[in-house]
Structure 1
């Protein structure tokens, strides 16, 4: 065998075997510095040169992030199904109920707004706002944002239902 062929073969083997990981160790990463949202993680990876971005290739002008296959979206609609819905915006990730009052007290009514901050099933993925309308007469009403246990109960119920839907989807 010629000397050039031997050197070429040795260089080829060294370069192909070095890709197996024997010569290089992966860099340690602190997961607390990684974004929670998958889209933000992907953007960070692309900006650091760890991936590729296809831009808007294959995307239409309108993007519907929160579809009926999203467990958080479905769980929210199922939990709030007893309330009249005023606005349901898939692309904006928002559900707004109409004013709802209990039959016992017709002077007070509530309105609930659910905002989806991400697709992840986590407590920080939802923002729930409750407003109360108190009316002295038909033309004299006060509307205030209230902090009540309803927000926490709704968040827990939606997350539990979304987890159940996600689990059933995988099975």
Structure 2
């Protein structure tokens, strides 16, 4: 019988302790409402909106694969111009900041050419191509910014 009393007494102590701790909402996982951790939620996109819009507008002739406005990455698929069907280009735009700055933008371009056997092979991209695209996007972004300001 003493074992039974000890068991009942242990359960009673555990219950009383649990009820007492239930009011302590500052102790994690014990009582009270569990509130979600505070996070800094940012509304809109995570990068400069003018650079984002200008990138989409400037490269709108290329097929879009993915666009991540929070991460600032835009991937374009292969594009061949009608004037040069044996070469194709692919581009990726990285917007690295929320400010409208030249160093907040990077563009990478890949090029392939079709050989006589019909296979695409990697080819070097002209050194000025990426710079020209960055400058075109920056110019468009500045125009959008000025149009919005006035």
TM-score calculated relative to the size of structure 2? 0.64
Distance 1:166 1:111, change over 3 A: same
Distance 1:108 1:77, change over 3 A: same
CA distance in 2, matches of 1:148, 1:86: 24
Paired position in structure 2 for 1:148: 127
Deviations 1:61-119 (A, max 9, x none): x984137xx11101111111111111211122111111011223322101111111112
Larger Rg: 2
CA distance in 1, matches of 2:45, 2:139: 24
CA distance in 1, matches of 2:99, 2:78: 28
Paired position in structure 1 for 2:46: 65
Paired position in structure 1 for 2:147: 168
User: How many residues are matched?
Assistant: 113
TM-score calculated relative to the size of structure 1? 0.57
Gaps of at least 5 residues in structure 1 are 1-54
Paired position in structure 1 for 2:106: 127
Distance 1:117 1:56, change over 3 A: farther
Paired position in structure 2 for 1:90: 69
Gaps of at least 5 residues in structure 2 are 1-36
SS at structure 1 position matched to 2:93: strand
CA distance in 2, matches of 1:88, 1:132: 21
When the two chains are superposed, the root-mean-square deviation of aligned CA atoms in Å is 2.6
Paired position in structure 1 for 2:3: none
SS at structure 1 position matched to 2:71: coil
